[in-house]
Every structure is written in C-alpha cells, then in structure tokens.
Amino acid sequence: MSKARPTIADVATRAGVSKGAVSLALNGRPGLAQATVERIIAAADELRWRPSNRARSLSVSKAFALGLVITRDPGVLSSDPFFPAFIAGVESVLGPNGQALVLQVVTAGEDEEAGYQRLAQAGRVDGVFLSDLRHDDPRIELLASLGMPAVTLNRPEGSSPFPAVLLDDRPGTVEVVQHLLDLGHRRIAHVAGPPAFVHATARSEAFTSALAAAGLEPVGIEGSDFTAAGGIEATRRLLALPEPPTAIVYANDRMAIAGIGAVQRAGLTVPDDLSIAGFDDSELAEFVHPGLTTVRADPFGFGEAAARTLNQLIDGDGEVADVELPPARLVIRRSTAAPASHGMLEES
Amino acid sequence: MSKARPTIADVATRAGVSKGAVSLALNGRPGLAQATVERIIAAADELRWRPSNRARSLSVSKAFALGLVITRDPGVLSSDPFFPAFIAGVESVLGPNGQALVLQVVTAGEDEEAGYQRLAQAGRVDGVFLSDLRHDDPRIELLASLGMPAVTLNRPEGSSPFPAVLLDDRPGTVEVVQHLLDLGHRRIAHVAGPPAFVHATARSEAFTSALAAAGLEPVGIEGSDFTAAGGIEATRRLLALPEPPTAIVYANDRMAIAGIGAVQRAGLTVPDDLSIAGFDDSELAEFVHPGLTTVRADPFGFGEAAARTLNQLIDGDGEVADVELPPARLVIRRSTAAPASHGMLEES
C-alpha cells in the first residue's frame, strides 16, 4: 500500500483533540465526555486507523495470546464442526509460536461486551478474532473503542477499521444449485442456518438467487440451527409438504448427514428418491454412505489465515491487507443424482 | 475429610528445609539444588499436599482463567469429538463466572514442558486440566514442581497430588461385549485408539477381558488413531481376514460411523452381515442409519465436573475430593443384531 498508515496524531487532528485524548478513548479509559469519545472513534474509523503494536505498547505489554469470544451456547463447540476446525487452524499457527488461544463463551448483550472488555483491559490477549458476524454488529465499534487489534472473519456490513479474512460461501452454494439443476431437479428446498448470522443468510441468499436465475422458486426454506436434531426436524417438515422436494441443500454437513438418516428411516433411498447436499466437507462427509455431495469450506485454513493476519497486525507496523481465501467449492459425491422418473414426469 | 489439609510447613518439616525453600521449589523458581527440589517434591507428594489459593497468593494474583494443554496434532480438535464436547462443558461453567479457557496445543517433549511453564510462570491461568493421561506421565511431577493447581481426567498410574475426575470407560465396554455375546456373536474384533493413552488401553483391556470371561479370544485387534480415515482402513483389514468378524467394537464413534460406511460400500449390510458398535454416543450416532449402538460417555458432563473441581481447588482451602461420574453406559440401537445364520452354523 502506498498510502502511509494513519497515526494517532492523524486521528487527533481530524477529531480536534490531543493525542492523549485519542489514546484514552481508543483504550477505553475514563476521563472523556461521551461525545468526545464518539467523535474520536468516528475519526479513527473514517481514517481506517488500525491499532498497531506501537500504539498498544503505550498502555499494555504483550500477552502472547489471542482471543476468541464465542457468543453462542457452549454446545456449539461440540455440535458444529466449524469452531473445532477453525480453532485447530488457529492453534497450528499459535502452537509453534508459543502463543495461546484464550477462549471465552458468553451470551449476547452485556455479557458479550464485558467479555471483550475483560480481554482488553486485563491485557490478557494481544488481539481477537471476530467470528459469527451479525447484522449491525455492535462489536466493531466496541473493539475500536477498546483499541483492541482484531481480524474479522469475512467483512462486516458497515465500515470497519480491522482487516478481514475472506472466504466466500456463495460461489460453492451457487455451484450446488447448478449441479442439481443440471441433474434435472426442479423441486429444490433449503435447510438454512440461524438467520442472525451473516454467513447463514449469505448461503440462503446465494441459494435463492441461483434458483431465481433459472426461473425457479424454492419448494421450501426451513430455518434451522446447524444441529443434527434440527436437521432431522427440518427434513421431516420438507418431506411432509404436499409437493415434497426432489433435492435438499443443507447449510451444513451435520444437518445433511442427519437428513440422510431421516430419509433412509422414512424408507426412502438417497439419492434415488431424494438428493442431498451439505456444506463444510467435514471429515465424515466422505465416509458416510452414500458419500455426501457438499461444499468444501476449509475452516482449518480459515483459522490459519486469520491467526497469521492477526499476528501481522500485532507485530508489524505496516498496513495489513485483507486476505482473500479461495472460495468454497462444490465436491460431488454419491448423495446427489438425477431425480426419479415420476419427479420428471410431473414436471413435463 | 477429617484429616487436616497438609500445609507448606508440613512439607518443609518432612523435607528438612525452610518454608521459603518449599515455596521456591513448588513455584519452579531458581536458587535451589536439584536434589533439594526433588526432595521437596517427594515430600509434597507423600503428604498429598495440594496447592491452595493461599499458597498461590504468595506468588501470583488471580488470572480468572483455566488452562488446557493438548499434546496432540491440532487436527484432533476437529477430528475427535471428545475435545470440543469437553471444552463446551468447561465453558458452561467458566462462561457464567467470567472466566476464560486458555488453550495451548503443543507437541510432546520439551514443547509440552515449556507450554505448562509458560502458563504457570506468566500467571496466565489459575489452574490446568490434565487430559490424555499417558503411561508414566511426566506432567504430574512437572505441575507439582510448578505449584500449579490441576485436576486430572481420570487417575494417573503413579501417585498424584491432584484431585481426579473419574469417568470409567470400562463397564460400558464390557456391556457392549456382553450385548454382542448375548446376540450370539463369537467372532468379535476391536478397533482400538492410540496405545499411548491410558483411556485407549483401558477400553482395549476391558474388551479383551470381557471376551476372555466368556472363554473367547478377539478375532483381531487393530490399532488405529480415532480418525474416520483410520477407522475405514482398520475395518478393511478386519474384513479381509480369512475368518472375518461378525461384529466389530470401535474405540470411538467416528471410526465406527466410518466403519458403517466402509461395510456398506463393500456391498454388505449393517447389522445383517456385520454388527457395529462405537464409543462416545456423539451427536450423529443417533441419527446415522442404522443408528449406532454405542457407549455414552458424556464428555460435556466430564468438562463441567472438571471445571467445578478445579475452581473448588483454586478458591477453597479445604481438601478437594475426587469426583466420580456415572460410568459410561451401553446404548443399544439398530447397528447390532444377531449374526447371520452362516456365522451361527460355523460355530456349531
């Protein structure tokens, strides 16, 4: 990048305050009027100011640890393969560096804010990963105001002073739909993840627009929760429709693998009676029978890239660029095939 | 417990040194001859001295964090459901307390020792969980010498100054074997976990002795690594035996679910041609088809109990007793049934 990295002095000039006031505001220290704090944060945001080691060293020493705050039920750690694989990728970078990962599971709201504040103010971590970005995510401003270096997993909706690691879920989802259309499916349904998450709605929207591009509407979109039990329930609701789908696209593998079980228990065969596709390419996807057609998203690589980027931000003093990972890609296995002939006949 | 908790003064008397020397030795500080350090550790061990908050407060302030050092490939976090579920259970206790979990993945040997030393000396955590206990585990003495409160997952082989949380894998494994014997199986094989781990060999030994009690020997015991890919390979080797098994007992669900896939791919049916049982009762076990007969081990509850016990040890100043969880128990589903008649005929 040719442009010089903005400094605390630049932020001070723009906000019309002293450098000391900027340091207070960005480190969440008391002593300033709320309006002044807001003006300083706005100036830092407009300049795309990012905390550096130099700025941080004014206030705290290094913790040799990075933080991940998970704002979900603790059970998500065992029920959704994303976090374990992401954490494994993070640890593959941190381990050899002698760094640790500080993990904090909180509920949304005040607990969440307190969670980040604790990490920041105790100097417990040198930076944090922002995962599960939400619509109008309040954590961007919170972390900017705490002066805490951060890397976001994908890009938040508003402006953000933090570098992002990008892994686009959408092309893989579009490829799944196209693969099913190519096989002859016209009645396709979707089992979605929780709508609060940007990544879950990104997959749903990619699903719907890929169908729309072919002049089709979804047979059904069932909201679910990424768990096996949720996947089963959603599958049963779709199978009970007056015109059930011939193919179902799930927002993660866990729901899809549970869906295969639900279909087989109902006396139907995958893929002869129903095609099923997942999202993740988790370890079991290849080994269940039939093997699961899915989208390979590489959460381990996501974790590696996020850890490297956050360490660059903490250690370096240059501008840290966003990192764009290869997008998630379709992996075709045996769980998808042409729809049975009665399905085709109803269409003609 | 009626017996008074041993104090640092008791350890000093027994070792014939000053209280200051005990404090130095148990906090891993320099300044003592190695022989003196060893004598102090031996005395602490003999007295079953356990670090308390009072002892710790001599040297460090509270970190409001607990530590888990995992001495495996980082991939284990995504490939083995135990750790995610255990961590979820730990977080269910830590989250509401505002405590964090510090996770460090290291390789065995010097890295591992350095990992624990970093956690101890930087005052980064108030205590640690000792998982994956190994034969002749060097970490017991290491942590005692660091003066670091710890809870072990199950009991180590030698003596230990730390409370243990106990979840006995063996009764469930014996129940699986008995269930298969009751169904009429006589040719039963086992796919084991890595032999370095006490829990893996405990399951294997329970398997072998339950068969021996019925006057039988295993058709085969295949060492494996708890991964799906490893489970598939082990299954193929067992199916290629001149006298293949009619039932296979796997040391975890992941290998068992992959095994079901391998058997179905070979054109055989579960349970008609081969019965399959796992260990874990992980989330997918209930939902795959056929549902997996397995052993319910409750790693989430294990994590909860371990976190509560470690917090008691850190906060309290009384003796902390071992916690015995209900043993792992058989869960019967559709993946096990009587062997096909040709198998029965060969027996008679």
Average pLDDT over residues A95-106: 87
Which two three-digit tokens encode residue A302? 């996501």
The residue in chain B having the minimum alpha-carbon distance to the alpha carbon of residue A75 is B88
pLDDT at A337: 97
Q: Which of residues 79-118 of A touch B (CB under 8 A)?
A: 79, 81, 83-85, 87-89, 91-92, 94-95, 98, 100-107, 111, 114-115, 118
pLDDT at B183: 98
8 A C-beta contact, residue A283 and residue A84: no
**Does B338 lie in the same domain as B212?**
yes
pLDDT at A55: 42
Tell me if B88 and A102 make a contact (CB, 8 A cut-off).
no
Closest Cα in chain A, distance from residue B284 (Å): 7
Average pLDDT over residues B42-71: 68
- Which residues of chain B have a CB within 8 Å of the CB of A265? 289
Tell me if B74 and A81 make a contact (CB, 8 A cut-off).
no
The residue in chain B having the minimum alpha-carbon distance to the alpha carbon of residue A257 is B288
DSSP-assigned beta bridge partners for residue B280 = B296
Question: Residue A218: is the preceding peptide bond cis (ω within 30°)?
Answer: no
Domain count, chain A: 3
Band (A287; pLDDT cuts 50, 70, 90): confident
- pLDDT beyond 50 at B2: no
B215 to chain A, any CB pair closer than 8 A? The answer is no
pLDDT at A346: 43
Average pLDDT over residues B48-72: 66
Q: Round to whole Å and give the CA distance between B99 and B121.
A: 19
8 A C-beta contact, residue A227 and residue A255: yes
A44 occurs within a structural domain: yes
DSSP-assigned beta bridge partners for residue B331 = B294
Average pLDDT over residues B112-136: 85
Q: Which one of A30-44, A327-341, B121-135 scores highest in mean pLDDT?
A: A327-341
Average pLDDT over residues B160-179: 94
Q: What is the pLDDT of residues B233-282, one digit of tens each?
A: 999 999 999 999 999 999 999 999 999 999 998 999 999 999 999 999 98
Q: Chain A to chain B, count of Cβ pairs less than 8 Å apart? A: 168
Q: Which of residues 127-146 of B touch A (CB under 8 A)?
A: none
Average pLDDT over residues A28-52: 72
Q: What are the residues whose beta carbons fall under 8 Å from the beta carbon of A77, sequence distance 6 or more?
A: A70, A83, A84, A105, B84, B85, B87, B88, B91
Closest Cα in chain A, distance from residue B47 (Å): 33
**Does B111 lie in the same domain as B9?**
no
CATH code (residue A37) = 1.10.260.40
Q: Could you tell me what percent of chain A has a pLDDT over 70?
A: 89
The more confident residue out of B21 and B329 is B329
Burial grade of A306 (CB within 10 A; 0-12, 13-18, 19 or more):
buried
**Does A225 lie in the same domain as A89?**
no
8 A C-beta contact, residue B102 and residue B70: no
**Does B180 lie in the same domain as B287?**
yes
Q: What are the residues whose beta carbons fall under 8 Å from the beta carbon of A122, sequence distance 6 or more?
A: B64
B264 occurs within a structural domain: yes
Q: Which of A88, A104, A115 comes nearest B77 by C-beta?
A: A88
Burial grade of A30 (CB within 10 A; 0-12, 13-18, 19 or more):
exposed
A208 to chain B, any CB pair closer than 8 A? The answer is no
- pLDDT beyond 60 at A21: yes
Tell me if B77 and A65 make a contact (CB, 8 A cut-off).
no
Average pLDDT over residues B296-310: 94
B54 occurs within a structural domain: no
- Domain around B106: 59-167+301-326
For residue A348, how many C-alpha atoms fall within 13 Å in the half-sphere facing its CB? 6
Mean pLDDT is lowest, of A36-45, A210-219, A299-308, for A36-45
- Which residues of chain A have a CB within 8 Å of the CB of B87? 77-78, 103
Task: State the average pLDDT for chain B.
Answer: 86
pLDDT at B317: 64
- pLDDT beyond 80 at A60: no
**Does A144 lie in the same domain as A5?**
no
CATH code (residue A270) = 3.40.50.2300
pLDDT at A173: 95
Q: Round to whole Å and give the CA distance between B27 and B4.
A: 23
CA distances, A185 to each of A41, A211, A312, A335 (Å): 51, 11, 47, 14
Tell me if A98 and B107 make a contact (CB, 8 A cut-off).
no
Q: Round to whole Å and give the CA distance between B258 and B293.
A: 14
Tell me if B119 and A106 make a contact (CB, 8 A cut-off).
no
**Does B196 lie in the same domain as B335?**
yes
Question: Which residue spans within A182-303 are E strands per DSSP?
Answer: 188-192, 220-223, 247-250, 275-277, 294-296
pLDDT at B50: 62
pLDDT at B30: 55
- pLDDT beyond 80 at B7: no
Q: Round to whole Å and give the CA distance between A283 and B227.
A: 9
The more confident residue out of A164 and B31 is A164
**Does B250 lie in the same domain as B181?**
yes
**Does A292 lie in the same domain as A178?**
yes
**Does B14 lie in the same domain as B114?**
no
- Residue B175: CB atoms within 10 A of its CB come to 20
**Does B97 lie in the same domain as B64?**
yes
Give the phi and the psi of residue B68 in degrees, each rounded to 5. -135, 115
**Does B142 lie in the same domain as B21?**
no
Tell me if B74 and A85 make a contact (CB, 8 A cut-off).
no
pLDDT at B40: 83
For residue A319, how many C-alpha atoms fall within 13 Å in the half-sphere facing its CB? 13
Tell me if A105 and B94 make a contact (CB, 8 A cut-off).
yes
Tell me if B95 and A104 make a contact (CB, 8 A cut-off).
yes
Average pLDDT over residues B162-171: 93
Q: Could you tell me what percent of chain A has a pLDDT over 90?
A: 49
Q: Which of residues 140-199 of A touch B (CB under 8 A)?
A: none
**Does B292 lie in the same domain as B263?**
yes
Task: State the average pLDDT for chain A.
Answer: 86
Strands B164-166 and A294-296: unpaired
- pLDDT beyond 80 at A297: yes
Average pLDDT over residues A253-259: 94
- B241-259 b/e (C-beta count within 10 Å ≥ 16 → b): eeebbbbbbbbbbbbbbbb
Amino acid present at A78? S
- pLDDT beyond 80 at B104: yes
pLDDT at A54: 38
Q: Which of residues 276-315 of A touch B (CB under 8 A)?
A: 282-284, 286-289, 291, 299-300
Band (B101; pLDDT cuts 50, 70, 90): very high
Sheet with A220-223: strands ordered across: A220-223, A188-192, A247-250, A275-277
Band (A16; pLDDT cuts 50, 70, 90): confident
- pLDDT beyond 90 at A215: yes
Best residue in A61, A76, A86, A103 to probe B by mutation, most B CBs within 10 Å? A103
Sign of CA dihedral B92, B93, B97, B99: negative
CA distances, A116 to each of A37, A66, A309, B123 (Å): 18, 12, 19, 20
- pLDDT beyond 50 at A202: yes
Strands B127-130 and B100-105: unpaired
8 A C-beta contact, residue A185 and residue A192: no
- Which residues of chain A have a CB within 8 Å of the CB of B232? 287
B257 occurs within a structural domain: yes
Q: Which of A94, A102, A282 comes nearest B65 by C-beta?
A: A102
Average pLDDT over residues B279-296: 91
Which two three-digit tokens encode residue B134? 């190994």
B213 occurs within a structural domain: yes
Q: Which one of A234-243, A317-326, A337-346 scores highest in mean pLDDT?
A: A234-243
8 A C-beta contact, residue A321 and residue A109: no
Tell me if A287 and B228 make a contact (CB, 8 A cut-off).
yes
pLDDT at A117: 83
> Which H/E stretch holds residue B69?
strand B65-70
Q: What is the pLDDT of residues B211-239, one digit of tens each?
A: 999 999 999 999 998 888 999 999 999 99
